[in-house]
A and B are shown apart, each in its own frame.
Chain A
């Protein structure tokens, strides 16, 4: 169990009999115990090197309707015979199928799998295009339904039917007797349903990308091979070519010892490298590494280096820290923000960090403004975090609401990012926002803090002149400028907004852009 993390399996939890692990999406071969055991036998040295899987022609052919080229063009199949599956085997196979559907299959859009009891299948098989009126009895349904009814009236149809948008032909797999095996990627036929009694399976994998479908089939076939099944190949007849599936021959990748050492720095001999690769269940043939068909995540020689590291054991790699030859440096803008925050905290203010994505009520409604040019995110999980703020004041007001039971005076500030729509694009800006809440809070107090901040940061005086702003009360609002450049506003919050934020004390404050002050210093 201690070794599981070192082959890339994250332990989620365990008890006396079971261990729950999480596997990475690049290793679908870890989708069953059989695949994990195959890898563990390697790292523990019990069985190393390439695992091969024999397959013999099953004699079954699948004819592909050329009209499917624009619907769901590819199919790959395998047969598995001599199976003795218990409940647990069936459960694992189905959970592997689900994982493949969701991961590599991209929620069945790219790849879909059909498992069938071969005893119920009469070859040859045809993969053909049917109209929506075509009907059959879908899996676990009592009656026959048409494709149209399945798409609109079943859960699976609603979940996965979007792939047929704008199409009027649908892919269906049938046998010589006309029995429907599957309507991919939606649902299988009921006639070929798999139970623990099944001794042989027929598996179809349909896809929109040829390689993705064949990869998925390789995972399924080699897993069944590990379960002790005899694998049979199926001949797929396209209109212009034929193909035999599955292809379980290992692929070859050059063994580049120099690259391995460049990446790992372990100074391993060729023999050590070969042994590590064998422990990762890869083979070596002369100058080539043999990569099993289920390891299609290996796409570059650097992936071979990682396999060496896995075979060697990440925990055995000794670390070494190279000292830097050059000094480090802070980003001048972030350092400026740091100093600005220190000045504010030194003035007695508490620093806040609030969310940039906020809700409509806080940002607009409570200030009685419309927010027509709001910048929204697509499909937010929560409406509380759905609009990018264009001002800090709303976030700070919401903070005061959360702290009405806290002792006053409350003086808070934030140096944060706001988002604005400018010349047809979204721009970002760093601002300083500050609010002062207590029974005597006033324009003058806010202006005192503002002026001292600007003076201390820039060495110049800020100027204010009468202005209007949605957050501040008319007659108690000043536009702030520095050297003729407008930088923000200071004022007393409107009584309406104080009340909508459920506050019982007056609030004053300011919000200014930091870049004009920063630019002057450069």
Chain B
């Protein structure tokens, strides 16, 4: 900030004709500030108030004074030591410090130098046999030979460093994928957006099932798959809903709507991917899996997310039954470090029997429900042209992640908290 008297002189000298007092007052924030500036500039002899004109005008009488003050301020603004100022400047700057325009700081410098005795002690202790650090020059010249490195404080703290890292959930997904591959599964990847047909109808979920409502499912606004028509597979599925078609079922006994099946949804489970693969494959024996994101219209809280992951898989093959399903699940979770299980009956519209998987976690010291599994109903498989049993499951992965990282809140996994991502332990157990 420049002192007000300087601002005043500048205004006067830049004005096209000598300004009146009233004109100058306007340039200042207060009348008080203006009269202080006028007083100082006059007493320093920089200006004069010419009362011969009416109204009186202000003229510059000494331009050198303001100029030297400006130069002084400029040099001080770069940081000037008090010693470098002459006595006149020192006086002015003292006044400016008082007025709060300059700041006065005291610095104290201490220099330490080695004494003659010190130098002597050093040369006797180190001699010339120690080097501070190995340099390219020393390596090239061979100058390091016969010398040792000066000992340093090996206990001193080293600076903290954050390496690049994979996301904890991706780390876990990688493990899950490897477990699947080791058990002979082929990995699937697919879109998130599907017609409701694949997400629901093909899985024998009736069109008025509460789970299909907007409260639970994300439908894309004003989007539908107009290419979907009631022919071929779609018709077989429709008839299965209506009266069971040739599946041996009585069906759901209602009128199926193609419009409802056309609506686009964000997949609410990855079974949509395994069932699609099932419809495309003519293999009588196959194992496929998909670990990917699913979407539910939820309010986020410690145990609910709107986007999370499931690790779905199916095994297709003649002669497969519930015992094989339980056997697979045990083997699979063993690979993820879990070994105690319970299998409870549960219900899904597309599997029969339907089994809830419960595992014991040593780390959490508790049983945790991981999700569902079962044998696909004929109402699902027959319209797809599949005549052999299909074992299916789609447990979530986030709950296992909580146990693994000792977290209480699902949201923490996706909070993008860099401090956790940077510092979390690399290998955690379930």
Contact = CB atoms under 8 A, between A and B. Distances in A.
On whether the two chains bind one another, the answer is: yes
Interface in B179-232: 180-189, 191-193, 208, 210, 214-215, 218-221, 223
Interface stretch (A70-78, A145-153, A346-354): A346-354
Interface residues of B, number: 91
Given A348-B163, A356-B307, A300 B352 contact: yes
Contacts of A329: 181, 186-187
B297 to A, nearest CB: 5
Contact of A265 (B177, B247, B323): B323
B327 A110 contact: no
Contact of B250 (A7, A8, A300): A300
Contacts of B414: 353-355
B266 interface: yes
B74 to A, nearest CB: 28
A113 interface: no
Given A25-B210, A377-B218, A300 B347 contact: no
A291 to B, nearest CB: 11
A381 B187 contact: no
B220 to A, nearest CB: 6
B27 interface: no
B64 interface: no
Contact of A382 (B254, B300, B342, B354): B300
A317 B416 CA distance: 43
B392 interface: no
B220 A377 contact: yes
A461 interface: no
B353 A305 contact: yes
Contacts of B264: 426
Nearest to B254: A209
Nearest to A403: B418
Nearest to B307: A355
Interface in B306-320: 306-307, 315, 317, 319-320
B377 A300 contact: yes
A319 B347 contact: no
A380 B218 contact: yes
Contacts of A353: 167, 169-170, 414
Given A263-B353, A328-B183, A351-B166, A317 B343 contact: yes
Contacts of B353: 263, 305-306, 309
Interface in A259-283: 262-266
A419 B345 contact: no
Interface in A372-420: 375-382, 384-385, 388, 398-399, 402-403, 406-407, 410-412, 417, 419
A338 interface: yes
Nearest to A330: B187
A265 B184 contact: no
A435 to B, nearest CB: 12
Interface in B329-378: 329-331, 342-347, 349, 352-356, 375, 377-378
B307 A5 contact: no
Given A351-B170, A382-B299, A309 B188 contact: no
Contacts of B192: 356, 417, 428
A24 to B, nearest CB: 4
A10 B208 CA distance: 24
Interface string A337-367: 0100110111111111111110000000000
Contacts of A328: 180-187, 287
A6 B343 CA distance: 8
A302 interface: yes
Contacts of B191: 428
A348 B161 CA distance: 10
A321 B250 contact: no
A322 interface: yes
Nearest to A352: B416
A251 to B, nearest CB: 9
A419 B321 contact: no
A300 B245 CA distance: 12
Contacts of B7: none
Interface in A273-330: 299-303, 305-306, 309-310, 314-315, 317-330
B421 interface: yes
Q: Chain A interface: which size bin?
A: 35 or more
Given A319-B326, A351-B166, A353-B169, A324 B287 contact: yes
Contact of A299 (B219, B251, B389): B251
Contacts of A342: 166
A341 B174 CA distance: 12
A391 B239 CA distance: 41
B322 A378 contact: no
Contacts of B302: none
A351 to B, nearest CB: 4
Contact of B418 (A5, A106, A410): A410
A448 interface: no
Contacts of A347: 164
B143 to A, nearest CB: 35
B40 interface: no
Contacts of A5: 342, 344-345
A502 interface: no
A334 interface: yes
A237 interface: no
B414 to A, nearest CB: 6
Contacts of B342: 5, 315
Given A353-B414, A403-B416, A376 B170 contact: no
A321 B221 contact: no
A331 interface: yes
A374 to B, nearest CB: 9
B100 interface: no
A350 B162 contact: yes
Nearest to B413: A353
B249 interface: yes
Given A300-B250, A324-B183, A379-B297, A402 B162 contact: no
A103 B214 CA distance: 16
B174 A338 contact: yes
A376 to B, nearest CB: 4
B248 A300 contact: yes
A327 B418 contact: no
A26 interface: yes
Contacts of A344: 164
Contacts of B248: 300-301
B104 interface: no
Interface in B105-137: none
Interface in A33-91: none
A355 B343 CA distance: 33
A230 interface: no
Contacts of B293: 356, 417
B164 A305 contact: no
Contacts of A8: 344-347
Nearest to B221: A376
B298 interface: yes
B46 interface: no
A326 B184 contact: yes
B181 A110 contact: no
A381 B219 CA distance: 12
Given A103-B210, A301-B248, 17 more contacts: A6-B345, A8-B344, A106-B208, A322-B324, A329-B187, A330-B187, A341-B170, A351-B165, A357-B295, A376-B220, A377-B218, A377-B219, A378-B221, A381-B215, A381-B297, A402-B416, A417-B192
12 contacts: A27-B347, A300-B377, A319-B323, A320-B326, A325-B285, A328-B186, A334-B177, A348-B164, A352-B167, A381-B299, A385-B306, A428-B191
| Chain A to chain B: the 8 pairs with minimum beta-carbon distance, closest first | A324-B184, A265-B321, A321-B327, A319-B326, A24-B347, A328-B181, A331-B187, A319-B327
Interface of B: 162-167, 169-170, 174, 177, 180-189, 191-193, 208, 210, 214-215, 218-221, 223, 244, 247-251, 253-254, 264, 266, 285, 287, 293, 295, 297-300, 306-307, 315, 317, 319-324, 326-331, 342-347, 349, 352-356, 375, 377-379, 389, 414-419, 421-422
